């Protein structure tokens, strides 16, 4: 596979994850992870594979009515064991209902991922999610 296509595959994987989160498509979220994946979200370790990660995220998504995740600053390096070490920055905006109004919460996130090829596609084998900054403002529901 030409080198340039690997970047497109990595970026596609990250965007599919973000879009699945925003659509609340838990099956799509799960399809981004290897069966034996592990993750750490803001210091909370999630072990038990793909389904445990999906279950954890499903619970987290109930806190907001809608979200938009924008993926950027994607960099990766190949490791000696056929994996890719991927770093990306995500800006995540969540609409959190507060009665007849809403709280708009925007955060800067860093994802540090280990990505592997399984079958014909790339999957996240390990994810570390770190919040970098956060801001909130009142908004319309």
pLDDT of 4 reads 55
Q: Is the pLDDT of residue 3 over 80?
A: no
Q: What is the pLDDT of residue 81?
A: 83
Task: Set out the domains of the chain in order of their start, with CATH numbers.
Answer: 3-140 (3.10.450.50)
Residue-wise pLDDT tens digits, 96-135: 998 888 999 999 999 999 999 998 899 999 999 999 999 9
**Residues 72-97 pLDDT 10s:** 999 999 997 889 999 999 999 999 99
Cβ-proximal residues to 62 (8 Å cutoff; 6+ apart), any chain: none
34: closest CA among 82, 93, 66, 94? 82
Q: Say what the pLDDT of residue 74 is.
A: 97
């Amino acid at each position: 596979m030409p080198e340039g296509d690997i970047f497109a595959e990595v970026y596609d994987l990250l965007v599919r994850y973000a879009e699945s989160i925003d659509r609340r498509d838990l099956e799509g979220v799960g399809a981004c992870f290897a069966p034996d994946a592990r993750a750490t979200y803001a210091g909370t370790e999630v072990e038990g594979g793909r389904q445990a990660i999906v279950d954890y995220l499903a619970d987290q998504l109930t806190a907001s009515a809608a979200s938009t995740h924008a993926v950027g600053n994607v960099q990766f390096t190949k490791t000696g064991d056929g994996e890719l070490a991927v770093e990306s920055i995500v800006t995540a905006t969540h609409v959190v209902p507060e009665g007849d109004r809403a709280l708009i919460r925007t955060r800067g996130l860093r994802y540090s991922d280990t990505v592997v090829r399984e079958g014909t596609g790339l999957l996240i084998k390990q994810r570390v999610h770190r919040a970098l900054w956060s801001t909130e403002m009142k908004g319309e529901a």
